[in-house]
Amino acid sequence: MQEYSDQYIGGEWRPTLAAESIAVLNPATEQVIASVPAGGAEDVDAAVRAARAAARAWGATSREERLAPLTRLRDGLAARQQEMAETVVAELGSPIGFATAVQAGLPLGVAGSYLDILAGYEFEERVGTSTVFAEPAGVVAAITPWNYPLHQIVAKVVPALAAGCTVVLKPAEDTPLVARLFAQLVHEAGFPAGVFNLVTGRGPDAGAALAAHPGVDLVSFTGSTAVGRRIAEVAGRGIKRVALELGGKSANVVLPGADLTRAVNVNVANVVANSGQTCSAWTRLLVHEDQYEEAVAIAAKAAGKYVPGDPTESSTGLGPVVNAKQRERVRGYITGALAEGARLVVGGAEAPEGLAQGYYVRPTVLADVTPDMAVAQEEVFGPVLSILAYRDEEHALEIANGTEYGLAGSVWAADDETAAAFARRMDTGQVHINGGRFNPLAPFGGYKKSGVGRELGRHGLEEFLQTKSLQF
């Protein structure tokens, strides 16, 4: 077991000022694999001071001066992609195939996309008699979740640095090891001291101190809606800008005339990916009542292909959830749905056969789910699919829009035009049309209680900019 006792602050690894540590567990074995400092207000203050001291000089750099170390950082991510993937397997439980392609592969693509965006971005424009400048927002507090630990770090830190901001990163306490690897790459890339800083710690301590710190100008947070609300309240008292990517309860609407088999199979794969721990997962499958039982049968067959197992094995398609608390949360939603009248098609709350150890959950399909059930309204964050029936298109839209969330979704129809017309009426930030692939250049973010602001692409860069106009 590796015991770490330092934080990355001011361009160097410094001994933590915290007395306690956080144990990092492997969710497949339940064994402690490392420990990191449980940083608090003192570590946060040191990191913010370092970021503040570096902010003006870094903000005044040219695009070329930013592109050079950002390019080296991208190259470092490429060189150590396999190590990143294996680290995510160890601390999150993502299967190695998924971890390599998505957990480590997607961040590499996102980092590369920001090199192109920065190279072509116009930071000033002439508007009548004025010149309008896009300037760095200042010191950014980046608070990231455990479900896509490297991707969320890259999606916040890289555009913030590209915009000319300095950053203090507080990663999730369950997955701090990949964050430490990222900090090593930043150091090797040669960024000036204080431009990037890392503090590991718990949310109520380090996260809260970071959000409230008067030296922070913008808080970028990804996580639950409940925590996002508290961060917004704290940041609001300091008149800080916030970017919040929060929960989701996304609907996959299959309209009559669509390829039902493909739509349902893709939906099951979407929900099972990353053990269901994806904020944008299509956890509600909406099917016309005339095709309902056919869809249930297709989903049952599809879910049966995913057998929970050792995430280090290349053949494994479904690993554990992140920790014991999350496992019990997911199982609670399954038993709660059955108590409310849902029908168990496959899966269930019992431990998967032969896997008494590890935080495993059976891939579960629930039928006869109604829109008012908790499992259809609240974010489960596990491999659980709820199937709901609708009478007509207006009823489907009512169900799809009938939650407090609006992060993502999907629509399938006989043609793209029909699907797109329905999608335009959905109260959600991103919709996949007839199986359209995820695009890392497109803005990602939510309506309603799914968040404020956007990540990825040009919109993601602009979250970290503020405008100034000079009148002539």
| pTM over the 0.85 mark | yes
- pLDDT tens figures, 420-456: 999 999 999 999 999 999 999 999 999 999 999 999 9
- Determine the residue type at 352: P
Q: How many domains does the chain have?
A: 2
Measured between alpha carbons, how far is 166 from 136 in angstroms, rounded to an integer? 9
Contacts of 359 (CB under 8 A, 6+ apart): 27, 28, 30, 93, 320, 321, 322, 323, 324, 326, 327
Q: Is the pLDDT of residue 356 over 90?
A: no
Contacts of 63 (CB under 8 A, 6+ apart): 118, 119, 121, 123
Q: Is the pLDDT of residue 371 over 90?
A: yes
In a shared domain, residues 322 and 368: yes
- pLDDT tens figures, 279-309: 999 999 999 999 999 999 999 999 999 999 9
In a shared domain, residues 156 and 20: yes
In a shared domain, residues 14 and 37: yes
Question: Average of pLDDT values for 133-161?
Answer: 98
In degrees and rounded to multiples of 5, residue 447 shows phi and psi of: -95, 170
Cβ 450 vs Cβ 405: under 8 Å? yes
In a shared domain, residues 178 and 261: no
Cα 228 to the center of its chain, rounded Å: 13
Overall residue count recorded for the chain in this entry: 472
Measured between alpha carbons, how far is 55 from 191 in angstroms, rounded to an integer? 12
Count CA atoms closer than 13 A to 203's CA, side-chain side: 17
In a shared domain, residues 400 and 461: no
In a shared domain, residues 236 and 280: no
- Determine the residue type at 83: E
Count CA atoms closer than 13 A to 425's CA, side-chain side: 15
Measured between alpha carbons, how far is 77 from 283 in angstroms, rounded to an integer? 31
In a shared domain, residues 192 and 265: no
In a shared domain, residues 368 and 271: yes
**Mean pLDDT of all residues belonging to the chain:** 98
In a shared domain, residues 261 and 239: no
Q: Is the pLDDT of residue 65 over 90?
A: yes
Q: Which CATH number is 349's domain given?
A: 3.40.309.10
Q: Dig out the tokens for 204 from the structure.
A: 């109520």
State the catalytic residues: 245, 279
In a shared domain, residues 115 and 264: no
Q: Identify the domain containing residue 388 by its residue range.
A: 251-440
Q: Which CATH number is 74's domain given?
A: 3.40.605.10
In degrees and rounded to multiples of 5, residue 347 shows phi and psi of: 90, -140
Q: Is the pLDDT of residue 361 over 90?
A: yes
In a shared domain, residues 183 and 293: no
In a shared domain, residues 257 and 328: yes
The pLDDT value given to residue 67: 98
Specify the 3-state DSSP secondary structure of 113.
Answer: helix
**Crossing angle of the two packed helices 105-120 and 63-79, in degrees rounded to 10:** 160
Question: Average of pLDDT values for 12-28?
Answer: 97
